[in-house]
Amino acid sequence: MTSLTTAIGIDIGGTGIKGGLVDLSTGALISDRVKLPTPSGGKPNDIVETTKTIVAQLAAEDPSAPVGVCFPAIVKRGITMSAANVSKKWIGLHAEELFETGLGRDIHFVNDADAAGYAESQFGAAKDKDGLIILTTLGTGIGSALIYDGVLIPNAELGHLEIDGADAESRASYAAKEREDLSWEQWAKRLQRYYETVEFLFSPDLFIIGGGVSKNYEEFMPLLKLRTPMVPAVYRNNAGILGAAALARPGAA
């Protein structure tokens, strides 16, 4: 295969960095998924070196494949404006430039939730759907991505909406459920308040629920009463890899 049909996706997280070679026509991984631990402390140069190791392994299968990297931060013009579960040294860093120098190649650099949302729009629950689609990832916090007619609108931080005087994710994330030992029903009441607020503000055409807890969607999604249709994400663990790879394709959103 050539780089016109394949790309390398790298997903950087607080505990692991994973990557794969992706068939861009189907969204299928056509390599083993490579995963290495995120270096302790999550410092920039250390993460770049680990990423370099993974990219080198995957590029051996297709040296001309473009590379996309997703990262747990607000990303504006290649600069990381925040840092979740990694070193605070990332804040204000010209991260895309740092990766390109370290890897010796151009990359596409994007927020991790945005990559997951784009993966769903290209290969998953939002494929071939028009209008405004909002993906949320329920995990340590609440990540979000906005897709309008297949176009990614980057850096939506809807987990940080203030609802009833609190940061939404502090009460409605999956971490909050575990921390407070909430039942599915108790948690669903908080999710209801969150999603009805987002629904009022944005009038989306579809909600997609991602994050690891989405595999248990039958426990909580039927308890939510919204006008907007809601479906679980197709991709969970590989969403960042697929979205980063898809965005690395020339001409992608």
Residues 35 and 102 in one domain: yes
H-run or E-run covering 250? none
Alpha helices in the chain (DSSP H): 44-59, 95-103, 112-123, 168-172, 174-179, 184-202, 217-220, 239-248
Give the model's pLDDT for residue 217. 95
Residues 6+ apart with CB under 8 A from 186: none
Distance CA 34, CA 27 (A): 16
Give the model's pLDDT for residue 137. 93
Residues 243 and 171 in one domain: no
Model pTM? 0.90
pLDDT tens digits for 14-60?
A: 889 999 999 999 999 999 999 999 999 999 999 999 999 999 999 99
Phi and psi for 167 in degrees, rounded to 5? -60, 125
Q: Report angle CA 152, 31, 136 to the nearest 5 degrees.
A: 30
Residues 99 and 57 in one domain: yes
Residues 225 and 243 in one domain: no
- 17 within domain boundaries: yes
* Residue 134: exposure state from Cβ atoms within 10 A (0-12, 13-18, ≥19): buried
Residues 6+ apart with CB under 8 A from 161: 167, 168, 194, 197, 198, 201
- 92 within domain boundaries: yes
Q: Confidence band (pLDDT; 50, 70, 90) for 253?
A: low
- 120 within domain boundaries: no
Average pLDDT over the chain reads 94
Position 248 pLDDT exceeds 60: yes
Q: Which domain holds residue 213?
A: 125-232
Give the model's pLDDT for residue 4. 73
Give the model's pLDDT for residue 2. 44
Position 1 pLDDT exceeds 70: no
Residues 106 and 130 in one domain: no
- 1 within domain boundaries: no
- 179 within domain boundaries: yes
Total count of domains within the chain: 2
Residues 181 and 89 in one domain: no
pLDDT tens digits for 201-228?
A: 999 999 999 988 999 999 999 999 999 9
Enter the tokens of residue 169: 């994710």
Q: Which long-range contacts (C-beta less than 8 Å, at least 24 apart) are formed by 158-164?
A: 158/134, 158/198, 161/194, 161/197, 161/198, 161/201, 163/193, 163/194, 163/197, 164/193
Residues 6+ apart with CB under 8 A from 103: 48, 51, 52, 55, 67
DSSP state of 124: S
- 33 within domain boundaries: yes
- 117 within domain boundaries: no
Residues 200 and 219 in one domain: yes
pLDDT tens digits for 78-130?
A: 999 998 778 999 999 999 999 999 999 999 999 999 999 999 999 999 999 99
Residues 131 and 227 in one domain: yes
- 23 within domain boundaries: yes
